Amino acid sequence: MTPRESVQIVDVAPRDGFQAVSTWIPTETKIDIVRLLLNTRLKRVETGAFVSPKAIPQMADTAEVHASIDLSADQRLPTLIPNLKGAVNAFAANITDVVYVLSVSESHNKSNVRRPVAASLDELMKVIEIGRDRPDFRLRANIATAFDCPYEGRIEIDAVSRALEPIVDTGIPVEFGICDTTGRAFPDQVADLFEKCVERFSRTGIDWCFHGHDTYGLGIANALYAYQAGVRVFDAAAAGLGGCPFAPGASGNTATEDLVFTFHNMGIQTGIDLAKLTETAGVIAALPGVATGGHIRQLPKKRIL
Ligand code: COA
Ligand code: ZN
């Protein structure tokens, strides 16, 4: 098999996954799971969120979880923030590797973070202002509803482009997480968006990630089309957990183990230990109250390794 360019997978189960679980997951369990994920040689595990505990109670112990994890030099634990207050709280907990979320569509933004898109963008500018002088500041901008909105339907590439432009114009190094929040993107739409946006916003310091959900069974196909369009960073969740509580009908993220299985068998390395990952996915799938997805976790080991 011809070797191809490798990818980095970010496991988002301890954020996108856990936020959708209404049964409280004890802090110690969250810590154990993040450690298990890091032990599979994942380089990045998105862990927790500095959000309102009234909006998402499950994320209330994010600072505690972070404080208990030792990272090796090449591992990261980014954290979601929805507004300036989230950034201030994260920085106060010494967390400066942040994922700021805003939607392309007005109605999803209002339902998710309870403000117009323009207000979210203003707050992001303030986050950049307070973060940009810190040497350890790392910014991911998660662009939600980039393909489809649960309230407004299909999203045009021009609308995504308009959302990216002011962030690009700040000159800050940023990774754009282009999110198929509802899982209703189609492979050609994914490739088209990345091709156009990567070409249009080509300054240095811009990186791209595809964040897919598997609601319609298109998660792997979408990721492969994103790969063909040049994307090399992918969000996925072990055991196929995930789902925005403010996107009705959306199910879990593409399962990390399915994505790793696919990439490895296509000669695309991830650096992840698939045997350990499927075991960890099994541990996550056994948590009370989780809705799981994915395929290979349930197959006999000898058929997947
Ligand atoms: N972290 C913790 N608390 C926060 C906060 C944050 N980032 N932002 C606001 N708050 C608190 C305020 O202090 C206030 O507390 P009080 O009622 O004790 O005074 C309360 O939340 C309401 O503040 P307000 O600014 O009016 O926020 P809101 O009610 O409009 O909610 C969000 C805005 C963004 C904080 C809230 O909608 C949220 O956390 N959404 C979660 C989004 C999310 O994670 N979605 C899934 C990922 S895509
Ligand atoms: Zn998501």
**Do the strands 79-81 and 97-103 form a parallel or antiparallel pair, or are they unpaired?**
parallel
**H or E, element range at 148:** strand 148-149
**Can you list the alpha helix ranges (DSSP code H) found in the chain?**
27-39, 62-67, 84-92, 106-113, 117-131, 157-169, 187-200, 219-228, 256-265, 274-285
- Quote the ligand 2 centre to 237 CA distance (angstroms): 9
212 alpha carbon, closest ligand: 2
The closest residue, in CA terms, to atom 20 on ligand 1 is 52
Q: Work out the end-to-end distance of the chain between its first and last CA atoms, rounded to an integer number of angstroms.
A: 16
Which pLDDT belongs to residue 249? 85
Residues with CB under 6 A from ligand 1: 19, 49-52, 55-56, 80, 82-83, 85-86, 89, 101, 112-114, 144, 244, 246
109 alpha carbon, closest ligand: 1
Which pLDDT belongs to residue 3? 77
- Quote the ligand 1 centre to 55 CA distance (angstroms): 7
d(CA 225, CA 227) in angstroms, rounded, equals 5
> Would you say 254 and 242 are in contact if contact means Cβ atoms under 8 Å apart?
no
Nearest to 228 by CA among 10, 42, 4: 4
* 3-class DSSP state of 76: strand
Q: What is the 3-state secondary structure (H, E, C) of 37-64?
A: HHHCCCCEECCCECCCCCCCHHHCCHHH
The closest residue, in CA terms, to atom 15 on ligand 1 is 52
The closest residue, in CA terms, to atom 44 on ligand 1 is 51
Name, in order, each residue with C-beta under 8 angstroms of 91's C-beta and a sequence gap of 6 or more. Answer: 130, 131, 134
The closest residue, in CA terms, to atom 46 on ligand 1 is 244
- Quote the ligand 2 centre to 236 CA distance (angstroms): 9
What's the CATH code, domain 8-303? 3.20.20.70
Q: What is the pLDDT along the chain (305 residues), one digit of tens a residue?
A: 677 999 999 999 999 999 999 999 999 999 999 999 999 999 999 999 999 999 999 999 999 999 999 999 999 999 999 999 999 999 999 999 999 999 999 999 999 999 999 999 999 999 999 999 898 999 999 999 999 999 999 999 999 999 999 999 999 999 999 999 999 999 999 999 999 999 999 889 999 999 999 999 999 999 999 999 999 999 999 999 998 888 888 899 999 999 999 999 999 999 999 999 999 999 999 999 999 999 999 999 889 88
Which pLDDT belongs to residue 170? 96
Which pLDDT belongs to residue 57? 96
Nearest to 253 by CA among 207, 208, 298, 291: 291
> Would you say 205 and 259 are in contact if contact means Cβ atoms under 8 Å apart?
no
Residue with tokens 């482009």: 161
Which pLDDT belongs to residue 171? 96
244 is catalytic: yes
